[in-house]
Amino acid sequence: MGLPRFGRPKNGVELSPNLYVANCGPAVGISHDDIASVFCKFGELKGVYAADESGTRVIVSFSEEGSAQSAFKALDGTPCPELGGRSLHIRYSVIQPTPKDEVSDMVPVSINASELSIPGLYLVHNFISAKEEEELLQAVDSRPWNSLAKRRVQHYGYEFRYDIRNVNTRHCLGELPSFVSPILERISSCPTFKSAEHIVLDQLTVNEYPPGVGLSPHIDTHSAFEDLIFSLSLSGPCIMEFRKYENGDWHTKVASSAVSEGGSPEDDSNFLRKAIYLPPRSLLLLSGEARYAWNHYIPHHKIDKVNGRVIRRASRRVSFTFRKVRTGACECEFPQYCDSQR
Ligand SMILES: O=C(O)CCC(=O)C(=O)O
Ligand SMILES: [Fe+2]
């Protein structure tokens, strides 16, 4: 079960045992325990929860309305010495029913790909050095970025068209730039990626994500790219979630979840969810089942929770996604997810 959702009280009813408290939280170095120790002076607490993904707004839930009222009167708008002198902005809050499509944040996040047991998923930590990371960032920052609605991209080899989720194979932009040659050589000689020994990766998409921006759930179009998809993370961390819809009709579900960022295993017993932490300088490989049958998704969060630790997204995450453009139809073993075989 995910956390309860809170909202403003309706019909002008102001009182509630729950307070929405802004200007404190893990993103500004104040833990939920710190906040609880301040509010518990006013009565029995049921808990302190993140109000949203900002890391700076919480819900303080009391057992009794009167306790919330006392805390509200004492703390609203005044600097709080126990919380770094911050002024808290407080209002009443009520629990709302959980919508069907709400994302639950309870999916555990693994550090290693082997813990996920998704066939074909690999993650190599520290695939490049900090110096190489810096050089790659400088190289892309000296080239023009294309601005999408929420993030910036660069395409090399072939342009990826987001409107048709495919590439125009007749329009080659040229070879991949020389600044990625050492990475490509290391990929083909890396023992973890045995299947990549002879592959010639010819398409590169560079994505730059500001904090709080992610990527909707998707499977890279089968007919656009061959089996192996590599993603190198630079500059900042994120988590990547994987979703597998067991029975057919994947397209409808992907489309609806892309809009709502929703769906949860509680709502759909055939919907599996797993997540992995992608630190900077790590290289992810999606191949086989991981590439063809699982949606990958970067939640639109400013902070991620990894094994109980709160990890803040950096000022940006830049990823280099290397793929090989497919020229014929896809003949994978996952026809229910395959645009070539539907
Ligand atoms: O940013 C990433 O690591 C993944 C990018 C991705 O999935 C894509 O461009 O299709
Ligand atoms: Fe992708």
The complex scores an ipTM of 0.99
DSSP, collapsed to helix, strand or coil, labels residue 15 as: coil
Q: How far is the CA of 22 from the centre of ligand 2 (A)?
A: 35
Q: What is the pLDDT of residue 4?
A: 57
Q: What is the pLDDT of residue 41?
A: 94
Q: How far is the CA of 233 from the centre of ligand 1 (A)?
A: 10
**Cα–Cα distance measured from residue 229 to residue 159, given in angstroms and rounded to the nearest whole number:** 16
Phi, then psi, of 176 in degrees rounded to 5: -65, 145
Q: What number is the average pLDDT over the span 179-187?
A: 97
Q: What number is the average pLDDT over the span 218-246?
A: 95
Nearest CA to ligand 1 atom 10: 220
Atom of ligand 1 nearest to the CA of 232: 3
Per residue in 281-301, is it b (16+ CB within 10 Å) or e — as a string?
bbbbbbbbbbbbbbbbbbbbb
Q: What is the pLDDT of residue 9?
A: 62
Instruction: Name the residue of 296, 304, 316 to mutate for ligand 1: max ligand atoms within 8 A of Cβ.
Output: 296
Q: What number is the average pLDDT over the span 138-143?
A: 98
Q: How far is the CA of 280 from the centre of ligand 1 (A)?
A: 14
Nearest CA to ligand 1 atom 6: 321
Q: What number is the average pLDDT over the span 237-244?
A: 95
> In this structure, how many other beta carbons lie within 10 angstroms of the beta carbon of residue 262?
17
Phi, then psi, of 139 in degrees rounded to 5: -60, -45
Q: Which ligand is nearest to the CA of 322?
A: 1
Q: What is the pLDDT of residue 33?
A: 86
Q: How confident is the model at residue 315 (pLDDT cuts 50, 70, 90)?
A: very high
**With 60 as the cut, is the pLDDT of residue 114 above it?**
yes
What is the 8-class DSSP label of residue 53? T
Q: How confident is the model at residue 164 (pLDDT cuts 50, 70, 90)?
A: confident
Q: Where are the domains of the chain?
A: 5-96, 109-337
**Cα–Cα distance measured from residue 321 to residue 16, given in angstroms and rounded to the nearest whole number:** 48
191 by Cβ neighbours in 10 Å (0-12 / 13-18 / 19+) ranks as exposed
Instruction: Indicate whether residue 321 lines ligand 1 (CB < 6 A).
Output: yes
Lowest model confidence (mean pLDDT) among 11-15, 119-123, 175-179, 302-306 = 11-15
**With 60 as the cut, is the pLDDT of residue 262 above it?**
no
Q: How far is the CA of 208 from the centre of ligand 1 (A)?
A: 10
Atom of ligand 1 nearest to the CA of 205: 9
Which CATH superfamily does the domain covering 5-96 fall into?
RRM (RNA recognition motif) domain (3.30.70.330)
**With 60 as the cut, is the pLDDT of residue 255 above it?**
no
Q: What is the pLDDT of residue 290?
A: 97
The number of residues making up the chain comes to 342
Q: How far is the CA of 51 from the centre of ligand 1 (A)?
A: 28
Q: What number is the average pLDDT over the span 128-136?
A: 98
Averaging pLDDT over each range in 48-52, 253-257, 299-303, which range is the top one?
299-303
Instruction: Indicate whether residue 232 lines ligand 1 (CB < 6 A).
Output: no
**Cα–Cα distance measured from residue 48 to residue 197, given in angstroms and rounded to the nearest whole number:** 51
Q: How far is the CA of 231 from the centre of ligand 1 (A)?
A: 7
| Tokens linked to 43 | 């009565």
Q: What is the pLDDT of residue 264?
A: 36
**Cα–Cα distance measured from residue 45 to residue 39, given in angstroms and rounded to the nearest whole number:** 8
Q: Under CATH, which number does the domain 109-337 receive? A: 2.60.120.1520
Q: What is the pLDDT of residue 5?
A: 65
Instruction: Indicate whether residue 231 lines ligand 1 (CB < 6 A).
Output: yes
Counting residues of the chain whose pLDDT is more than 90, the rounded percentage is 64
**With 90 as the cut, is the pLDDT of residue 278 above it?**
yes
Averaging pLDDT over each range in 30-34, 60-64, 252-256, which range is the top one?
60-64
Instruction: Indicate whether residue 215 lines ligand 1 (CB < 6 A).
Output: yes
Residues 6 or more apart in contact with residue 241 via CB below 8 angstroms: 107, 217, 273, 274, 275, 296, 297, 298, 299
Q: How far is the CA of 95 from the centre of ligand 2 (A)?
A: 35
